[in-house]
Amino acid sequence: MKKNILVIPGDGIGPEVTTWGKAVLEQIATDFGHEFTFDEALMGHAAIEVTGEPLPDETLEKAKNSDAILFGAIGHAKYDNDPSLKVRPEQGLLKIRKELGLYANLRPILLFDELLNASSIKASILKGTDILFFRELTGDVYFGEKNRSEDRNTASDLMIYHRYEVERIAHKAFEAAMQRKKKLCSVDKANVLESSRLWRETVQQVALQYPEVETEHMFIDNAAMQLIKDPKRFDVVLTANLFGDILTDEASQIAGSMGMLASASVGESTGFFEPIHGSAHDITGKDLANPLASILSVALMLEIAFGLKDEAKVVVNAVDQALKEGFRTNDIADETTNPYNVLGTKEMGKLVLKYITQNTLSN
């Protein structure tokens, strides 16, 4: 198989973790006889510093011509501390989603048993959790009209959805539910928001085409509580852009750390694969970042973008083996972890590469 992959390291720890995502792809290509070629491009704060734009035209063109995109992270404290700045790193991420038609964000909450104690939630509540989130990605307040009054004392963000936007991601979520436990929970705020009433009405109509799927509707506030109280009750969760952003970050506590969660953004063209964590400038360059979410994003790329399920399984198994052997990065270590088994970014990356090759040879 020959594929062209664009690597966009982004900001903060992005370059550190994508280094190991790319290394895993190179190892898989070597071990399985594939041919992956790589290009690199700027986005976010790194792009603003060089070009003045968060998503340069050159990056967008490369993205459109690639078979898949491996992304790192975006953001910088400079912008967090100065809300008045008009050019911001996140604008690049929103624009590339819109330009590539990446309307569906898939976030599997993959729980490794070895990390049950890394979460602040009781292990007895967590064990057995397996959730797949479908977050709509190109609508909602992120893309609605934004206004600020002349005196700067009043602001608004339009929460807008079109029926077709809800329909297309709902179909993807229901199709996934058919391949899993045939159970789907749609999250909204239909008791208050008109956009949520359109959301619920549309999901109810789509559900009629999937009579085998048990469909539940839940308000966002209740869903946020239930996700911590009883995460095992969920299987496929479908929700809007804003609610999905919040719920999936909350769900990182189920997995023990944001450093463990991968995501895939798909839609009309090239898929975009990234860890859900941020740029974490406080640990940038200190060899402390967890590369496993980026590596697991590569597993999603192999399976979803390229159809290489065996190769994806080898990557996930290598991560699982590293955890079973007791190795941890700092963010997922707990009081039971042997201090000598707490690894930096580079050591953990190298360990996963070793297990990938070992598992490939043994098969």
Give the catalytic positions in this structure: 142, 189, 221, 245, 249
The strand pairing partners of 184, in sequence order, are: 215, 236
CA distance 7 to 42: 9
**Is the distance from CB of 60 to CB of 99 less than 8 angstroms?**
yes
Backbone angles phi, psi at 159, to 5 degrees: -90, 100
| Radius of gyration in angstroms for the set of CA atoms belonging to the chain, rounded to a whole number | 20
Residue type, 262: A
CB neighbour list of residue 127: distance below 8 Å, 6 or more residues apart: 111, 113, 116
Looking at the DSSP bridge assignments, the partners of residue 39 are 6
